[in-house]
Amino acid sequence: MVDLLEYEGKIIFKEYGIPVPDFKVVSDEKDIPDFNERMVIKAQVPTGGRGKRGGVRIVNNREEAVKAMNEIKNINFDGYRAEKFILEKAYVIKKELYISVTLDRSVEMPVTLASAEGGVDINSVPQEKIYKKPINPFVGVTEYTKRELSKFLGLSEDHAQEIGRILVGLYSIYDKLDASLVEINPLGLTDKGLIALDSKITIEDDALFRHKEIPVRYFGLDEIELEAKKKGLSFVKLEGDIGIIANGAGLNMATIDLIAQAGGKPANFFDLGGTDDPEKVIQAIELASKVTNKVLFINIFGGVTRCDTVARGVVQAINELKPKFKLVVRIRGANEEEGRKILLDHGIDSMLNLDEAVERVVKLAGE
């Protein structure tokens, strides 16, 4: 998933007709203009709870804004430091609402969620105070849904038109940008009407090839996970010392569980996928070697994947990388005997039985 920062989301909101405050993105003192009115300066970080941690401040002039920005830069937001800030007009808020469009897998379609009790405590709002309505992707947002939503939120007739346009804009963003979540919290009811005072947009990263305009920024990944992501490999770093490469998420999870049950400590989750491309195998071993201290376990079940080509990739990788850790390969499936022979001919531990392979791996890690 790719989470956009608030200012990036607001730029998109504006393109889709959702009202947002006029704002300026600043990152340094020199970016802050002179002003003498009530403004808000907000840290741009990919995490919630900024307001409670002091990442959102009311300021009345440039001097206050500079002071606030420098103070906010020292705040740790779940491991992130603010490098950019939004400076925007502070509105008098009559009411804070919540509205979003997101995917509900239980009904297998997008839904709109809304509440008349938006703001920082939205997660504690009881279910009966949250509006939830599926949006049929073949129909889109209906007039009935707009009227029902407005009534649920207790809006006047004038604001009913506004909330309808906002919902259509949110759904359009969700649909056209392949988003999994498009959220406004809070949606402020002001003298100027309804205004999106915040934004949250999460894009499905598998769809990014269709959206070159979306800035690719993966938050929360370490260097190795980020490198794997850029190469199209699925990798998650764990805390152990036994590296794992398997083909398929299910086989990966099963392998991790078996190693843990046998007393070993898995170092990673690494899904090779359905490929038997030797170059991909080499890339996978190179990445896995960065988290493997003792033993690397390669567990391949060959259906579409051919065991012999995987074996050739393993041999080539070992010859090129010359790793210091020990290696155990378990391969079953298409061309397994040929693949096993290739590995054994090059002095690489190769086994067919999974339980025996796991036992071998854990034993080597303990030596």
Q: Give yes or no: 183 in active site.
A: yes
In the set 8, 96, 98, 131, the catalytic residue is: 98
- Please give the class, per CATH, of domain 22-89: alpha beta
Q: What is the pLDDT of residue 165?
A: 96
Residue located via tokens 């999106």: 196
pTM (two decimals)? 0.70
| SS3 category, 58 | strand
pLDDT band at 305 (very low <50, low <70, confident <90, very high): confident
Q: How far apart are CA 223 and CA 45, in angstroms?
A: 19
Domain ranges of the chain: 22-89, 95-210, 223-366
Q: What is the pLDDT of residues 168-207, one digit of tens each?
A: 999 999 999 999 999 999 999 998 899 999 999 999 877 7
**CA count, 13 A, side-chain hemisphere, 264:** 31
Q: What is the pLDDT of residue 217?
A: 63
Q: What is the pLDDT of residues 213-269, one digit of tens each?
A: 776 666 555 677 766 676 777 778 888 889 898 888 888 899 999 999 999 999 888
Q: What is the pLDDT of residues 57-111, one digit of tens each?
A: 999 999 999 999 999 999 988 878 899 999 999 999 999 999 999 999 888 999 9
Q: What is the pLDDT of residue 216?
A: 65
Beta bridge pairs of residue 299: 246, 330
- Please name the residues in contact with 97: beta carbons below 8 A apart, sequence gap of 6 or more: 114, 115, 116, 118, 153, 184, 186, 187, 188, 189, 194
Asked if the domains 95-210 and 223-366 are classified in one and the same CATH topology, the answer is no
Q: How far apart are CA 335 and CA 338, in angstroms?
A: 5
In the set 162, 183, 225, 336, the catalytic residue is: 183
Q: How far apart are CA 239 and CA 291, in angstroms?
A: 9
Sign of CA dihedral 286, 288, 294, 296: negative
- Please name the residues in contact with 269: beta carbons below 8 A apart, sequence gap of 6 or more: 234, 235, 236, 238, 244, 252, 253, 256
Q: Is 223-366 CATH 3.40.710.10?
A: no
CATH superfamily of 95-210: ATP-grasp fold, B domain (3.30.470.20)
